[in-house]
Structure 1
Amino acid sequence: MTFQDDSSPLLIAGAKPVGFGRGVPQEATDILIGGDGRIAAVGHSLQAPDGARRIDAKGAYVSPGWVDLHAHVWHGGTDISIKPQVCGIERGVTTIVDAGSAGEANFHGFREYIIEPARERIKAFLNIGSIGLVACNRVSELIDMRSIDIDRTIACVEANRDIIIGIKVRASGVIVGAWGITPVKIAKKVAKILKLPLMVHVGEPPPVFDEVLEILGPGDVVTHCFNGKAAANIMEDEDLFQLAQRCANDGIRLDVGHGGASFSFKVAELAVQRGLLPFSISTDLHARSLDNPVWDMGTTMSKLLSVGMPFEAVIDASTRAPMEVIGLPTENLLSPGTRAEFTVFEVNDSDLSIVDSMGYNAHLPRLIEPIWTILGHEAVKASRYVPPRKSALESSACPHCGWINAR
């Protein structure tokens, strides 16, 4: 059942608010949304007007709409992007942030053919490389200085500030080769000129993770913060871990960015145990990570829950924290007069075994599963993504420690 075009009032009955900030009671409540898509009332035993639609949440949770801070949805414009609807509203995600699929040379097509027609809100980090991820790792967007046009990049941002919310640079050896840290320095300079945050993909060196952190400042984003790559993960080097912790305390935002090669259960678990939580949870969904190992936002959130991240922190890192990065309002999201934008979801017991980007397996004892997405007066039935076939990488977790090598 999906209520899309009906503009009659909508009553969400018996949902438990979470992730709305201080002062919002967490016991089950009713939310009445008017035909104009704005919250009309919040309280217990609300009476719906005649002709109103009704969703009985039956004690499920309701949060601000989920925000995926790192995905790739320039479908048809790059060789790795997926369609927004695959990872958007039908998965509980109301806002998708594309992390550098487009550069200045092809952003106009991304905007016209993908962003503007989408039902989801789509924002973007603009790739510092002019061609973006047209052929991803097959043709690097950062071969040398000819790959970057600073003047055109600045002009592209100025013409699209309603959508472009930052600059993206991939800082790993397979992209920059011997160019090392230089593209990060250029991207940071451009971001400073534009007064926008910089998102940096970290991976195998060069450059090394430490070099990247030393360039960044408050408000910038490090994505793939829990990657398990040799010479690039924060748990194999105590000095790097301490540096990452200081940077996080100083306002540099650590983003999960799961992806096909950039999330390790072990790294995440050890970091969380030591008190280093990610600022934001994101999927890095693309054509090569969708069916393995990521699937969707809810499953990614469940993975962080499974390694010990507190439930409320998981929800905040999937809603208000990324909303802050992209400049969306984060207060009074459940107040009368505010446009409704929610994800209704359940947290269910689970025996699902699933893999990380390194091919290691873990058991998810609890699974976060979206059931409705609310956008204004629209209510769309939501669910987790189901891969087309059971992955060969799926297997049972070790009953003693939960970790096995599934490769």
Structure 2
Amino acid sequence: MIGQQERKPLLLTNVRPIGFGAETPGSAVDILIDGNGRIAQVGPQLSVSCEMICVDGKGAWISPGWIDLHVHIWHGGTDISVRPSECGAERGVTTLVDAGSAGEANFHGFRQYIIEPSRERIKAFLNLGSIGLVACNRVSELRDIRDIDLDRILECYSENSEHIVGIKVRASHVITGSWGVTPVKLGKKISKILKVPMMVHVGEPPALYDEVLEVLGPGDVVTHCFNGKAGSSILEDEDLFDLAQRCAGEGIRLDIGHGGASFSFKVAEAAIKRGLMPFSISTDLHGHSMNFPVWDLATTMSKLLCVGMPFDKVVAAVTHAPASVIKLSMENRLAVGQRADFTVFDLVDSDVEATDSNGDVAVLEKLFEPRYAVIGSEAIAASRYIPRARRLVRHSHGYSYR
């Protein structure tokens, strides 16, 4: 994240705190942030001076800064990644976690050209495969054992431990062919050595969703948890649903990871109705999912609200929950002296039609609308993403929209 020079103090007025734990004020407050980006005062109707930049929250909510636990932002280094600016602060997101775009062979470039220049906080899961998602599904990063270099992974982590938060494995046959669950087992061994969590993409079997859960342990993340793919949907198999529920209770984190092919309204609604909540809400944003069907984190949050997830749990699923995965402290985030890291947002009435990854449509009667991302003493105007018109693209295996 870019170092910030001292700016004018920033005064946020008339904002309603949510998600700050037991210390959360019960009514609207003002928040004064000094020129170094640290909280100087919190309270009702703070004094205003001409030296301040004043931002009127107009009664909007303010939460700890939103965290998207699954994005692809190695722009220029992979063929699917988007720029951090397209899904970060201008969408209300102050922390972006790249989910395996870079492997050990190219992480140095990701660090130099993406992590270090960005105003957002950027962390990353390191891809188990050396090349990462350079050509995504066209050239798999996990064809066989030659694509994994244990020694270089350990070295890469040692040199970049402040940026790497875990290991990422994509466990589906379009990536691993008939290799099955073996890459997950290798990834788990490495994550144990490094003492970091592993994030596993579940999709088209093999590997089976069941097999993946049996390898994982507390603190690990299953992304695409509510996908609707044949053979990988927790609604198809009562034993799998029971296993997922038990594993979630034991500390395995179920992450949404919407993406272009990995979120089902029907699966999410049925799971939540039965008491199985996702641990975290993330987008899996990339160049093939941004315009259809994901859009942004705020819209993904609105989709979970639509299928029955309570408002406060949705907020927690983009703040406290992902923060615990990346070891980002959430204590005393409104205390004087803390560096400011907030999202200001409204929850508004809506009739927007949104689509899941299976093509099912739902009307979002309530929408999360980001207003500002506050990073230090800078308040960055934010809004939901407006998708561009989709175009039909021909592939060797058929057509798809982008």
- The alignment's TM-score, normalised by the length of structure 1, stands at 0.94
Q: CA deviation at 1:158?
A: 0.8
Identity level (%): 65
User: 1: CA distance between counterparts of 2:82 and 2:111?
Assistant: 15
The answer to whether 1:39 aligns with 2:39 is: yes
8 Å Cα contact 1:9/1:49 also seen in 2: no
C-alpha change, 1:390 and 1:160, in structure 2 (3 Å) is closer
* 1:84-163 equivalent positions in 2, closer than 5 A: 84-163=84-163
User: 2: CA distance between counterparts of 1:355 and 1:203?
Assistant: 19
What secondary structure sits across from 1:103 in the alignment?
A: coil
The answer to whether 1:207 aligns with 2:223 is: no
The answer to whether 1:30 aligns with 2:30 is: yes
Q: CA deviation at 1:24?
A: 1.0
8 Å Cα contact 1:5/1:378 also seen in 2: no
Could you list the per-position Cα deviations for residues 10-56 of structure 1 after superposition, in whole angstroms to 9, with x for gaps in the alignment? 11111111111123123211111111111111111111344111111
Equivalent residue, structure 2, for 1:254: 254
User: 2: CA distance between counterparts of 1:229 and 1:329?
Assistant: 35
The answer to whether 1:332 aligns with 2:332 is: yes
User: 1: CA distance between counterparts of 2:20 and 2:308?
Assistant: 21
User: 2: CA distance between counterparts of 1:133 and 1:85?
Assistant: 20
User: 2: CA distance between counterparts of 1:251 and 1:166?
Assistant: 16
The answer to whether 1:281 aligns with 2:284 is: no
User: 1: CA distance between counterparts of 2:199 and 2:208?
Assistant: 16
8 Å Cα contact 1:32/1:48 also seen in 2: no
Q: CA deviation at 1:389?
A: 2.6
8 Å Cα contact 1:168/1:187 also seen in 2: yes
8 Å Cα contact 1:6/1:378 also seen in 2: no
User: 1: CA distance between counterparts of 2:19 and 2:351?
Assistant: 26
What secondary structure sits across from 1:79 in the alignment?
A: coil
Could you list the per-position Cα deviations for residues 116-165 of structure 1 after superposition, in whole angstroms to 9, with x for gaps in the alignment? 11111110000000010011111110100001001001110111001000
8 Å Cα contact 2:291/2:390 also seen in 1: no
Equivalent residue, structure 2, for 1:170: 170
Equivalent residue, structure 2, for 1:398: none
Equivalent residue, structure 1, for 2:373: 373
Could you list the per-position Cα deviations for residues 327-376 of structure 1 after superposition, in whole angstroms to 9, with x for gaps in the alignment? 11111001111000000001100000010011110010000010111000
2:178 alignment partner AA? A
User: 2: CA distance between counterparts of 1:391 and 1:133?
Assistant: 23
User: 2: CA distance between counterparts of 1:78 and 1:301?
Assistant: 26
* Ranges in structure 1 where 5+ consecutive residues have no aligned partner: 393-407
User: 2: CA distance between counterparts of 1:235 and 1:56?
Assistant: 45
The answer to whether 1:17 aligns with 2:56 is: no
- The alignment's TM-score, normalised by the length of structure 2, stands at 0.95
8 Å Cα contact 2:72/2:82 also seen in 1: yes
Equivalent residue, structure 1, for 2:82: 82
User: 1: CA distance between counterparts of 2:48 and 2:342?
Assistant: 19
What secondary structure sits across from 1:362 in the alignment?
A: strand
Equivalent residue, structure 2, for 1:294: 294
Q: CA deviation at 1:390?
A: 7.1
What secondary structure sits across from 1:266 in the alignment?
A: helix
Equivalent residue, structure 1, for 2:188: 188
Equivalent residue, structure 1, for 2:217: 217
User: 2: CA distance between counterparts of 1:374 and 1:25?
Assistant: 19
The answer to whether 1:323 aligns with 2:319 is: no
1:233 alignment partner AA? S
Could you list the per-position Cα deviations for residues 371-406 of structure 1 after superposition, in whole angstroms to 9, with x for gaps in the alignment? 1110001111001101123799xxxxxxxxxxxxxx
Aligned-CA RMSD value: 1.3
* Ranges in structure 2 where 5+ consecutive residues have no aligned partner: 393-402
8 Å Cα contact 1:255/1:282 also seen in 2: yes
User: 2: CA distance between counterparts of 1:240 and 1:16?
Assistant: 40
8 Å Cα contact 1:292/1:391 also seen in 2: no
